[in-house]
Amino acid sequence: MKSLKQATTDQIICTAPQKNAATLASDEAEAIAKHFSNYLKPQLAKSEALKKEVYKLRYQVYCEELHFEETNHHHIEQDEFDQRSIHCFIRHASSGALAGTLRLIATRNSDELLPMEKFCPQAITDEQLRPRHFLPHQICEISRLAVPLAFRKRQVDQFAGGATGAINEQTFSTQELRFFPYIAVSLYLSAIALCHKNRIHHVFVMMEPRLARSLNFVGIHFTPIGAPVEYHGKRAAYYVDVRQLRKKLSTGYRKLLAMIEKELFS
């Protein structure tokens, strides 16, 4: 049986969109796109109040649930990169709770490093795809993907019982539960939308290879640029050109992306 940390990490990966074939996943995404905004609202954290909500959610996931970071009396998870980041999140429409968040860390000049350059430079071994080979204003790193436990699970964990904070089926409707496995994917689609809007072409991310495989199912094809290293578990450095990525999305996920763009920028 997996440890709680392993189990919750796996649940962030959002395996549900992985049908028997990518076509089925695309069809499901197209159906989800029609009603997604009835249940989940992608938003930008532009105000300090909204950013504080994001930092509190990150604290809940990274410090309390996964124990990747140390706890603190402020109950927020924040670092030096937040000031030059674009923060986005997804809010659960009926409860108002944050269902997930991530950030884009931008650079303005060659002196500003991405986190992977600062903390895991050994993770990048593809010399052609190092961040410094691109214009500073055209690169970013996606990081701090955080989906709280209540939205990572669709049914009671038979091994851990109620101790993990599994979803109460009476709290969320069957229809709502159908949408929850798409939260992590929708956050990545939000990041794609933000990159396109801000003309950021070159995207880097440190993530588990399993998450990369999951995203690959929906047409979000990240290229590995190094072997996995130890960083809160096994993670590897990945790269994608957003301009090419948008062209390769399946029809269903293009529709979901269009809906997300409408929510974020309307």
Residue 20 has pLDDT above 80, yes or no: no
Lowest mean pLDDT among 6-20, 37-51, 96-110: 6-20
Q: Of the candidates 201, 195, 205, which has an alpha carbon nearest to the alpha carbon of residue 114?
A: 205
pTM across the whole model: 0.84
Least confident residue range of 1-15, 88-102, 245-259: 1-15
* Residue 154 CA to its chain's centroid (Å): 18
pLDDT confidence of residue 217? 79
The pLDDT value given to residue 75: 97
Domain boundaries along the sequence of the chain = 4-265
SS3 230: strand
Surface-to-core class of residue 36, CB atoms within 10 Å of its CB (0-12 exposed, 13-18 middle, 19+ buried)? buried
**pLDDT value of position 158:** 29
**Do residues 125 and 225 touch, judged by C-beta distance below 8 A?**
yes
Which residues lie below 8 Å from residue 107, measured CB to CB, with a gap of 6+?
84, 113, 114, 131, 136, 137, 139, 140
- In whole angstroms, what is the distance from residue 230 CA to residue 228 CA? 7
CATH class of 4-265: alpha beta
pLDDT at 24: 61
What is the mean predicted confidence (pLDDT) over 52-66? 96
Mean pLDDT of the chain: 85
Q: Which of 222, 221, 223, 219 is nearest to 256 (CA)?
A: 219
Please say whether the beta carbons of 55 and 77 come within 8 A: yes
pLDDT of residue 34: 83
| pLDDT, tens digit (0-9, with 9 covering 90-100), for 121-146 | 999 999 999 999 999 999 999 999 99
Q: Which tokens sit at 48?
A: 């300090």
Assigned token pair, 210: 């399993």
Q: What is the pLDDT of residue 23?
A: 66
Q: Which residues in 31-178 belong to E strands, given as ranges?
A: 40-44, 85-92, 98-106, 139-146
Q: How confident is the model at residue 17 (pLDDT cuts 50, 70, 90)?
A: very low
- 198-243 residue pLDDT tens: 999 999 999 999 989 888 877 889 999 999 998 878 999 999 999 9
- In single-letter form, the type of residue at position 186 comes to S
Is residue 266 scored above 90 in pLDDT?
Answer: no
CA distances, 155 to each of 139, 161, 169 (Å): 39, 10, 7
Q: At what angle do helices 209-217 and 183-197 cross, to 10 degrees?
A: 80
